[in-house]
């Protein structure tokens, strides 16, 4: 992020000498010789820090502070005065000034003041995040399944390449936001904001103004300028959850930003340039949405540079038990309980359930159990009735049991080969039923499209 400084002083020599000195220190600097010019530069140049002369020829610097803050309340104003005293400083602070310095200037002192101003700006961003995000997600990514190991490797690569746009795909509750946080926290942007917006949870007419902000009088009720998340997150990351729900108009504006890194506020005419990384997520079939013209094909390709496909919990094997133990420990601490673990029967119940709500459902179930029970171990009868009732449908009937017993005792039985044979049959039937449409076949089989492609490569393409 380029640090922008604006100098407003009616003495040209002061403006020029201060500009030269600050430019040498690496700042982007602009100047104005009067109040009107200064206000125009606040709008057009969008400075982070403004050095403002206390006594401009046509207007008091103290009065100008108020007007500057009406345009952009987030910048920091430093008053410059040759008449510095405590009373003047207090008045300037009350009017919204960050600090004041006395003429003649010391460039080293000014540089220190600027550094403090930017520290204050960063603190404001962090405070905004605390207000914006009521609950801070401190969970870790848990799992030893091969598919999760591959995802962890991708996270490391993407964290090291902070300019790359990321698309995270997976069913609801699979941990898409957690993966986005891991990428952000592992990158050089970790100390900058990560702002999140659920594109499907707010009215579509508000998504554009939330992301890009709006100008005063841009629409009915816009009584003042508002910065959007793209400006607030400058230097950081924007997480766009449920990206498949945004309207075509917002898709067009987002595509332009991804290509040019510029955007206009709603009702604005000037381009705003920011350094923001985009991480998007969806549980929607974007390929199908492209076919039905609900999602722009060019935006899909632009987002899908490096996709991460999160597997559903039912496909992660014993990761279910790892996560159950993790949440048990977490809720033991939260509710001051001392439940030691799960019985073998309880573990079996958890493993055979299909978990349509994925990790979020598992977390809620464990929380409910910990709240309601005080036993040393969680047994199968502690498992909520809805899981038990769905698992009942999976009981083996007597005829099947006899057939399976004969197979096992006959010798040379391989459970792995048996499971592969079953998978191969079901996949073949699903593909025949859908005319080899991977998306539809994966829905029939209850697995992700990515998981289906991997199995097809394993069973049919490498023979």
What residue segments make up the domains of the chain, in order of their start? 4-126, 146-311, 314-392, 398-461
Residue 109 pLDDT greater than 60, yes or no: yes
For residues 326 and 362, the answer to whether their CB atoms sit within 8 Å is no
For residues 86 and 74, the answer to whether their CB atoms sit within 8 Å is no
CATH topology for the 4-126 domain? Rossmann fold (3.40.50)
**CATH code reported for the domain at 314-392:** 1.10.8.60
β-sheet bridge partners, residue 167: 280, 307
Q: CB-based contacts of 414: which residues, under 8 Å, 6+ apart?
A: none
pLDDT of residue 389: 55
Confidence of residue 395 (pLDDT cuts 50, 70, 90): very low
- Average pLDDT value for residue range 414-424: 82
* Percent above pLDDT 70 for the chain: 91
Chain Cα centroid distance, residue 115: 28
Exposure on the CB side of residue 94, measured as CA atoms within 13 A: 7
* Residue pLDDT, tens place only, 302-340: 999 889 999 999 999 999 999 999 999 999 999 999 999
Confidence of residue 424 (pLDDT cuts 50, 70, 90): confident
pLDDT of residue 392: 47
Supply the DSSP symbol for 142: -
pLDDT of residue 319: 93
Given the candidates 3.40.50.720, 3.90.550.10, 3.40.50.300, 3.30.365.10, the CATH classification of the domain at 146-311 is: 3.40.50.300
- Per CATH, 146-311 and 398-461 having the same topology is answered no
Question: Of the spans 275-284, 348-357, 380-389, 427-436, which averages the highest pLDDT?
Answer: 275-284
| pTM (two decimals) | 0.61
State how far the alpha carbon of 98 is from the alpha carbons of 48, 49, 50, 92, 130, in Å. 12, 9, 10, 8, 22
β-sheet bridge partners, residue 4: 28
Confidence of residue 136 (pLDDT cuts 50, 70, 90): very low
Please give the Cα distance from 358 to 246 (Å, whole number).
24
Q: Strands, DSSP E only, in 144-285?
A: 166-169, 194-198, 237-241, 262-263, 272-273, 277-282
Please give the Cα distance from 348 to 380 (Å, whole number).
8
Confidence of residue 402 (pLDDT cuts 50, 70, 90): low
Q: What CATH architecture applies to the domain 398-461?
A: Orthogonal Bundle (1.10)
Q: Strands, DSSP E only, in 54-104?
A: 76-81, 99-102
Query: What are φ and ψ of residue 255, in 5° steps?
Result: -60, -45
């Amino acid at each position: 992020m380029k640090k922008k400084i604006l100098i407003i002083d009616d003495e040209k020599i002061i403006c020029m000498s201060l500009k030269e000195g600050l430019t040498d220190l690496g700042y982007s600097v602009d100047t104005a010789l009067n109040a009107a010019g200064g206000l125009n530069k606040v709008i057009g140049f969008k400075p982070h820090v403004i050095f403002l002369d206390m006594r401009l020829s046509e207007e008091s610097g103290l009065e100008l502070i108020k007007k500057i803050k009406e345009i952009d309340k987030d910048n920091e104003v430093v008053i410059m005065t040759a008449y510095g005293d405590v009373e003047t400083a207090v008045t300037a602070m009350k009017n919204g000034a960050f600090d004041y310095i006395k003429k003649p200037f010391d460039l080293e002192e000014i540089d220190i003041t600027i550094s403090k101003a930017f520290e204050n700006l960063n603190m404001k961003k962090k405070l905004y995040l605390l207000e914006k995000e009521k609950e801070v997600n401190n969970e870790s990514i848990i799992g030893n399944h091969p598919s999760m190991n591959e995802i962890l490797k991708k996270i490391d690569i993407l964290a090291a390449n902070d300019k790359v746009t990321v698309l995270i795909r997976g069913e609801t509750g699979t941990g898409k936001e957690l993966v986005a946080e891991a990428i952000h926290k592992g990158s050089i942007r970790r100390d900058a904001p990560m702002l999140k917006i659920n594109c499907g949870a707010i009215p579509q007419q508000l998504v554009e103004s939330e992301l890009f902000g709006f100008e005063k009088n841009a629409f009915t009720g816009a009584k003042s300028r508002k910065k959007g998340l793209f400006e607030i997150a400058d230097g950081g990351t924007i997480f766009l959850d449920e990206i498949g729900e945004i309207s075509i108009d917002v898709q067009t504006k987002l595509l332009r930003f991804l290509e040019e890194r510029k955007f206009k506020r709603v009702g604005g005419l000037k381009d705003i340039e920011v350094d923001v990384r985009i991480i998007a997520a969806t549980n929607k079939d974007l390929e199908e949405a492209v076919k039905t013209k609900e999602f722009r094909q060019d935006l899909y390709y632009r987002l899908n540079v490096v996709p991460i496909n999160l597997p559903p919990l039912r496909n992660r094997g014993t990761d279910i038990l790892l996560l159950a133990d993790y949440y048990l420990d977490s809720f033991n601490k939260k509710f001051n309980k001392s439940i030691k673990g799960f019985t073998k029967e309880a573990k079996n119940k958890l493993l055979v359930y299909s978990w349509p709500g994925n990790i979020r459902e598992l977390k809620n179930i464990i929380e409910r159990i910990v709240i309601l029970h005080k036993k040393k171990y969680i047994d199968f009868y502690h498992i909520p009735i809805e899981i038990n009732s769905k698992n009942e449908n999976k009981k083996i009937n007597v005829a099947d049991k006899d057939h399976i017993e004969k197979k096992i005792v006959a010798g040379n039985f391989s459970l792995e080969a048996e499971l592969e044979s079953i998978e191969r049959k079901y996949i073949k039937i699903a593909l025949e039923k859908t005319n080899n449409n991977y998306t539809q076949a994966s829905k029939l089989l209850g697995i992700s499209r990515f998981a289906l492609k991997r199995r097809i490569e394993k069973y049919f393409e490498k023979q």
